[in-house]
Structure 1
Amino acid sequence: MEELNLRLLLRPLLKWWWLIAACTLLAGVSSGLYTLRQPRTYLSRTTIMVGSSLLEPNPNSNDLYLAGQLASAYADIVQRSTVRDATQAALGLGWLPYYTARLVPNTQLIELSVVDTDPVRAQAVAAELVNQLLQIGPGMQEGSEYQAFIADQLDQMEKGITETTAEIERVKTELTGMFSARQIQDARSQITALEAKLATLQANFANLLANSRQGAINTIHVLEPANLPTTPMSRGLKTNVAVAAALGFALAAAAAYTMYYLDNTLQNEDDIQDHLALPALGLVPKNHAAEGRAGLEGDDERAALNDAFSALRLNIQAALGGDVPKTLLVGSPAVGDGKSSVAANLALAFVEAGYRALLVDADLRRPSLHRQFNLPNQRGLTTLLLGEEHNLELLIQQPAQQRLSLLTSGPLPPNPTRLLSRKELRGVLAEMAQKFDIVLLDTPPLTATVDASILATHVEAMLLVVAAGRTQRTPTQRVVKSLRHLQVNLLGVVLNAVPVSQTVYHAGYGYAVPRAADAEGTRRGALQIQANGQAGAHTLPALQEGIKPASNPLYQALRKR
């Protein structure tokens, strides 16, 4: 079951492999050529840091979080039109090359990358983008005198803190050598005063430092200036080709599955086995010569068709353990599947094998065998069923230059279903089976009427004819289900109008063609049998004289039996 499911899954890919291969190759080659035609590009990169928390020995978590939020904002600002227009105007460019601003995750770092075909221009744009950000930041808006004043105040406060700390340590050292209570009290009072002074200095220093660029969080520092690239970036040829080929394969595979599942017809032997659970007993090649197309022609075509029906006859006998069915019904799901042509040529195949075969046109609605064999149809099967004639031999006709016996349909009754439901049918079929080795019945399509289903319950075996690429799968499945419900002995399926490339008869078929002199005589005696409903609009000739599938092992085995 798993193997069957896998085969069904892969079938669209195997059926349309040429389309998938062509699309994959075309996508890959096109991508490669497009990539090679693109100009070489260069990458200039610069890194900036928001705030100075990373420079502090003990950074505050709140400061780090705030710096990260500010970095995210700056990364967004640098890609907006204000910064782009200012950079473009500063450099005198009519356009800017492609660039990105990437915030390094979980940090306050921004990485600016500029890609351009000119390495110098790429470096200039990267540097100017950073310059525009620096001008937006608050640090650039403060005067240099103000910053110098703050720096001087910080230096003085830092000096005062150092001196006060040293003074406190000196007094504490002197305190250890004091013995007078007054001296000890004065020293402790002095230490308290000095510690208060130190606390004030430290608080003032921290406040002033927060207002300076050195300690401010909302400042921008350039960690890595824009570099001048010397080597071009990789074109990514292999990656582009691989991605394009993969996309081409995926799209082609999707198209193959779409076409496969939208196609509801039976195409080949695998479809027969998988969807109908029946063996394909025969493949009848399409007659391309009759359609005016290239293919098998002349003697080769007749030889291929002869081999196809000889193989079909052998497969029927093999399915019955080597025996020949006394009564064999040839039916099809719909009009135009070619069942009448298959029935006629199969009957001729049994005649050529030495069997007494009777071909009966049991299609009482649209009979066709009398026209194909150019015979009258004034009397036939309906004459027997209505009791107007009881002598079967008087109703059987012999086509010209053929050893085949044919019983036409006779006059069409007003209600064929009622006529076929009469008990006389069983007796008529029994009489035919007694006088002939095999009786083949051509019937109406199974989906059109119940006539074929009624006949199927009175015969020993049945063949189902479907036209490759024409017969719908779903109606055929319903037909097979109905026949199994009626317990009909359905031997298998004949796939008609198969393209020559899908048959085994297109290779090495020339061995069966007679010599020129013999072939001419054979052609004069060959009967052209037009397919019922013109399945594939092709004509199937009857079997030629003297052509035997002696090389077929199954044929030799049956001959020994």
Structure 2
Amino acid sequence: MEHPKARLTPVVDEDEIDLGRLMAAVWAGKFLVTMAAIAGLCTGILYVMATPPTYQADALLQLEERAGRLALPEAMQGLVGNDPLSVTEIEILRSRSVLSQAVADLNLTWRAEPLRAPVFGHLLTRFDVPLPELDALSGYARTTEDIRLEHLEVPATWVGEPIDLTITGNDQFRIVTPDGSLYDGRIGETLALDGLDFVLRLESLTGAPGRRFVIEQISERAAVGELRDALSVAERGRQSNVLEVRYTSHDRAQAQRVLDAVLQAYVNQNVARSAAEAESSLQFIETQLPEAERALSEAERALSDFQQQRQSVHPEVANEVLNRTRNLELARGSYTELLARAQELRVVRASNVGNVRVLDTAEVAGTPIAPRRSRILALSIILGVLAGLGLVFLRNWMRRGVQGAQDLEQLGLPVLATINYTALAEARSSRKSRTPILALTDPTDLTVEGIRSLRTGLHFGMLDARTRTLAITSSAPDAGKSFIAANLAVVTAQAGQSVCLVDADLRRGHLRRYFDVPRDALGLADVLAGNVSWEDALQEGPVPGLFFLPTGKFPPNPSELLMRETLGELTQALSERFDLSILDCPPVLAVTDPVIVARSAGATIAVVRYGVTPTGEVAALQKAMEAAGVRMSGSILNAYDPRRQQAGYNYNYNYRYSYGARRR
């Protein structure tokens, strides 16, 4: 009969998203999420430590308007976007003509550096991590290796090809050229190869014998491209004509040297450009000076001749004198201005001054700009947490548990009873001390009512069984079989039947906690070993008619002990003595013990936990039983709760069994 309280159970739409269920899923997988976050943090720390720091040098330039530049009205300046002067100078600063000069000044086409170990090479050199002195590792850099080139020339076919250099002794080295040839050299001496345009001279070389270095000459175009990629130029403020120049490098000193070289090349080119413009303008003015001087002389002569010829003063004569005087003044002004401009251009040509002024020279900040440790570590933790959450949800999705009786019936396994979930029983069963029996502490609970329904179903279902013994098992731990076995024994005894509950888990059985039986009490293991009779090993239960046979001391060979004929004789004797004997067996997918016990039992049922036990495990349990010739009598859907979604719960696979289990 349906319990009245069962009608109050709410039905939840499975398609709705319940934040409580999601939080339950996260809480169930909190250990995995925590481990993923720690792993993400460790990965972030390792990445920060293994990544070479990036330094940035910065400088400021001021641009001055050139004489003669077109000045737009203020109302029209917004129409042209950026200031034309800054836009032009930025492109000039990043041009190949400027950068190639810096490349040539610093020999940026040369590359020479120690050979670092793959992936964690910087980490090993930064923290002086000791490496085993093996031949395969002896060439990798530690912390003291350094190389400086004084001169390098390679054939055109070797440009971009690495040259391997190995220290062979005191001030001695050996190189392997791209064609595979070997050559020996000394520090400070020029190594030139006959028939090849190859010249190498080392300024210094530091390292133990066997350490390897890589030397390479790249093309000027490639060096300019790398320099341009690491260089950034922007105007500070709108129409301020102040340019901020930045350059990044893994070498702090190199960043400052390169930026200084770029600025110097740019300033020199600007000065040269200004001098060239001054020279061109001066040449034009010098061609115009004779014509201006001739015009001045003609104006002076015309005025003098007219004044000598016309001594009288008439209005017409006065007007003509005024006109010729005005022409003379204009010619004199043009000639004087050309002379002044020519003198100014001569000064500009000789002064080596352009329209660019360096406000701040290149300087490198004390701390690197990358990697950004705090940001990387925070992001690593966030990604670790997200990865952990993803693993939790993926694991629960892949372990989709049984959602109802229809899932079990589709597998051909009839459901004998559905036991409601109770948080009280869950909490009590997790204690390591004595575990109360729910049928005694709260007999009106819906869970106990479901177990009474199971008792009724078994009473009629086992009428044709060869013995009145029932084996209860599951596919994996934490399905609740021991809880059901203990409470089923109590409610059956309360119905007036004689019941014997046997703990058949000879590896990790814990039914004794329900009956407060000490660990060293005699039990099934002792009976099967022939050390005691089963009557002497029985313990009286808390209900009249209920007896309990504990596991006894855990044996080193439980499977071999169960395979003895004594087990069959015991189940037969119990069937004759009791109305029902319940054998609590270990999980089928963990060990073979339940298969052995089930062959001697009259009926075998499997406990399936709602939303936790995957249907694949139930199918595997059936297959294992069928392979041993055992027919499953049915199943029990345990911990059913329509308010709970299976993704929010998990179960533990740490239910370990071993033939050498320690005695408890």
- TM surpasses 0.5: no
Question: What is the TM-score normalised by the length of structure 1?
Answer: 0.41
Which of the pair is proportionally richer in helix? 1
Q: Structure 2-normalised TM-score?
A: 0.35
Structure richer in strand, relative to its length: 2
